[in-house]
Amino acid sequence: MSTTPEIAPWPLVRKDDEGHPVTTLEYLLRGQGHRVLVDGKFGAATEETVRAFQESKRLGVDGVVGPKTWAALIVQVKRGSRGDAVRGVQEEFNFRQLSGGSIGLTVDGIFGADTDRAVRAFQEALGLGVDGIVGPLTWRALVSGMQSF
């Protein structure tokens, strides 16, 4: 029996996609210093920003966000972290409404107690190491749309 949980693969996200996980993608692009409107719509401006990001990281420049681009975009965050990457995590929990109520987490970019509780509960439910840190495996589980219930 494997001790590593089955985590869904990174999703492919491209121009004309809307909703999840486009909003998180936009927050992560902002977290990497790129200027992009966070509106959940992968339009021409988001595609141009993705291409610029891919070029800056010496990735294949195609404007499509796949496994290599996601892996380069993610930023490890934990309690005390602040910024757009944290907003991306909070947006993911609002997508799932796992934060203990119908209103979800406040998307404020502050990794405080509520975000920490949500991350730990998500990690525990999926059988991930429960450390409250959103690193590569937790990011992939979140962005791929995995549910913990």
What's the mean pLDDT in 129-135? 96
Q: Does any domain span residue 85?
A: yes
Decide if pLDDT at 147 tops 80.
no
Decide if pLDDT at 140 tops 90.
yes
If asked whether residues 57 and 122 sit together in one domain, one would say no
Decide if pLDDT at 33 tops 60.
yes
Last residue of a domain, one of 30, 51, 73: 73
What's the mean pLDDT in 125-146? 93
Decide if pLDDT at 6 tops 90.
no
If asked whether residues 35 and 60 sit together in one domain, one would say yes
pLDDT at position 103 is 55
Decide if pLDDT at 94 tops 90.
no
The whole domain housing 82 covers 75-149
Q: Based on the structure, what is the number of domains in the chain?
A: 2
pLDDT at position 134 is 97
pLDDT at position 97 is 74
110 CB burial (10 A radius; 0-12, 13-18, 19+): middle
- As a whole number of angstroms, the distance between CA 138 and CA 13 comes to 18
pLDDT band at 1 (very low <50, low <70, confident <90, very high): very low
- Per-residue b or e along 45-56, where b marks 16 or more CB atoms closer than 10 Å to that residue's CB: ebbebbebbbee
CATH code of the domain in which 128 resides: 1.10.101.10
Q: Does any domain span residue 5?
A: no
